[in-house]
Structure formats: structure tokens, C-alpha cells
Amino acid sequence: MADIDVVVQGLGVAGSLLAARLALQGFRVRAYDLSRDYLKPCGEQLTLEETPLRVARSTGAIKTIVRTVDVAVSGKLVTSVTMKPSKWAIIDKPRMIAALREMAKAEGSEVVWGPAAQVPGALTVDARGPYSGPRTFREGLALALRVVARVRSWEGDLALLDFWPALGGLFWVFPYDSEGKVVNAGAGFVGVSNANFVRDQVIKYLRHLLGPHEVLEVKGAPINLFTRPRLSRGTSILVGEAAGLVMAWSGEGNRPAINSAEALAEAIREVGTEDRGALSKTYAALVKKTAREAEMSRLALRLFGTSRISNAFLRLTSDDVWAKYVRQELEPLDLLRALVAL
């Protein structure tokens, strides 16, 4: 018999939370990550549903609350969504992950800094995010790149999403501090994996929007926008972005990573690690809502991501639909109605 119950491969959002939860539940966990510090760049937006809010609060990771999200299409403002109460936070993501890793260790998880391995007899959970499996930029990954920049002024509670169907993607500008001095701006375009091109687009965009600014950091990373959500591969269970649980139309992956890790921890608590069939079934039931949302978001990206029609559609979409999109409450029926109304 293995002396480990669960191997967690990758200690990002999903893996570190899962390792902490499972260790707390008394499972013997070994977790792997390539790096002691979480290095991947992110917009650091988190949608404040109950579970993500609890995780962000308990790790002291909330930097600022976003009250207003401006939505633009090809540089033209189409609506301004003010949220009361707010559903968006900007978090210090490396801090959240460091705290979760510490919790995992404190609860008895064994942490190995190095490439993920398997342990015979133990359940393997793949939480390596976009680095899971043999995917390439051709096979489903996109490049997202962020620039952290000091600017003259930005509101600490304002975010901007600007869709550019002609470029096949979007720009974002989020606060990076609460004082409006530093922003986290970035972009991702379908089919573009040239980091220099994306960096130049973001810097040009920022100059046009906010004038002169000082670039403090530029970093890109892959994001898994196109593979269909799947919860297992071979004998491994998949969680977070490794499972394709990313909202492709917005690039939102933090909330799905948290929700799927909580769902898997709950499934393992309920049925244990031995009966893999029962575990897969229970996990699938608990993560169903997140997987459905991810499917729908992929469909929306395919429909509205690139074409000219989508430019018109995005401009004419009602404020009500945008408000639901920003609050992550958009249902397939809302999109259908919006299409019919055009």
C-alpha cells in the first residue's frame, strides 16, 4: 500500500488550495511544484462568489475592490457597469498562493520542489494549469501578456475591458494598487503567440489611453482557452485550468480554479480515493456548474471573438447583458435573446 493518498501536481491556485484542504481532512498528500515562488503573471481579478471570497479573505490577499467596470469595443466605451455590492476584487495572487502552500505544509502535506511525478497506488491530481499535458499554442493555448506600469492616474476601483474583434481578443486595464498609481494592463489575441507583438500592442494601447507611463514589468504566459473541459486524463484527475476550466471569453481562471479545487476536495472527503469511478462521478456532479459556464464561455468566444458581425453585436449588446457578463451571471438564454434582438 502507498504511504501517500494523493499526489497533487502543481501548486498554483487549484493545487495549493486542494493540498491544504486534503491535508486538513487527514489525507496524506505529496505536492509538487517547479518553483517555490508563484511566477506566472495574471490580471489578478477574482470574482467574489462565496468560496473565492472566503479563500481570498482568509489568505489576506484582497488588494482592492473594483466598483466599476467600463466595457469598450474597439476603443469605444459601450457601457459602464457599477456593482453594488461589488463582485470583483483585485488580489495579490502570489500572496494568496504562498499562504495556501504554507497552510498545506502546516497541515502535513509533503511539498517537493521539482517536476511532478507519480506515486504508485496514490491518486494523481494534475493541477499544472496551462502546463498540463502536451498542449501547444496550436493545440488550444493562447498567449496572455501583462504589463505592470506606473501611470499618471487611474481609479483604484475602476477596471476596463476593451474587446477588439479585429485583433481577435481583448485588452484589460485593472488597478494594481489601491491608489491609482500603478495598473496591470494586458491583452491576449486568438492565434497570436508572438510576445513582442502583444507587448507592443499593450504599450501602444496604454500610451493612447493614459499618456506617458513607466513600464515596471512585462510578463506573458499561456492560457488554455480552447480545449473542452475534461475532468480526467488516463488515471489522473484534472482540476483548475488543467481541466480546461477557464472562461474563454474573458480569460477568467482564478474563480474556476478555486471552485474546482473545493469541489474535488469535497468529493474526496465524501467518497475517498479508492473507488475512482465513484470519485469521478461525485467530482463531476460538484463541479458541473463551473464546467457548464466554461463550455458556454468557449462558445461565446467562438461566436463573438473575431468576426466583423461580432463587432456590431458587441457594440449593440444591451447594458443589461453586459452587467450580467461582468457579474459572471450570463446564461445561454441571455446570449440567445441578445442575438435575436439584433
Ligand X SMILES: Cc1cc2nc3c(=O)[nH]c(=O)nc-3n(C[C@H](O)[C@H](O)[C@H](O)COP(=O)(O)OP(=O)(O)OC[C@H]3O[C@@H](n4cnc5c(N)ncnc54)[C@H](O)[C@@H]3O)c2cc1C
Interface residues toward ligand X, by CB under 6 A: 9-15, 32-35, 38, 40-45, 115-116, 127-131, 144-146, 186, 221, 223, 240-242, 246, 251-255, 257
Which set of grid coordinates corresponds to residue 107?
497541515
Give the HSE-up count for residue 64: Cα atoms under 13 Å, Cβ half-sphere. Answer: 21
Q: Where are the alpha helices (DSSP H) in the chain?
A: 13-24, 50-58, 93-106, 195-210, 254-271, 276-286, 288-304, 308-316, 319-326, 332-341
Contact criterion met (CB below 8 Å) for 31 and 19: yes
Instruction: Compute the least distance from the CB of residue 26 to ligand X, in Å.
Output: 23
Pairing assessment for the beta strands 68-73 and 76-82 based on DSSP bridges:
antiparallel
Instruction: Compute the least distance from the CB of residue 120 to ligand X, in Å.
Output: 18
Burial of 333 (0-12, 13-18, 19+ CB in 10 A): exposed
Considering the complex, state which of residue 129 and residue 338 has its C-beta at the smaller distance from ligand X.
Answer: 129
Instruction: Compute the least distance from the CB of residue 173 to ligand X, in Å.
Output: 11
Considering the complex, state which of residue 14 and residue 338 has its C-beta at the smaller distance from ligand X.
Answer: 14
Is the torsion defined by CA of 195, 197, 202, 206 positive or negative?
positive
Considering the complex, state which of residue 15 and residue 175 has its C-beta at the smaller distance from ligand X.
Answer: 15
Q: CA 243 to CA 284: how far, in whole Å?
A: 11
Instruction: Compute the least distance from the CB of residue 216 to ligand X, in Å.
Output: 15
Which set of grid coordinates corresponds to residue 6?
494523493
Considering the complex, state which of residue 62 and residue 145 has its C-beta at the smaller distance from ligand X.
Answer: 145
Considering the complex, state which of residue 15 and residue 229 has its C-beta at the smaller distance from ligand X.
Answer: 15
Instruction: Compute the least distance from the CB of residue 308 to ligand X, in Å.
Output: 27
Instruction: Compute the least distance from the CB of residue 278 to ligand X, in Å.
Output: 24
Q: CA 96 to CA 336: how far, in whole Å?
A: 37
Considering the complex, state which of residue 34 and residue 216 has its C-beta at the smaller distance from ligand X.
Answer: 34
Could you tell me which residues come within 8 angstroms of residue 21 by beta carbon, excluding any fewer than 6 positions away? Answer: 261, 262, 265
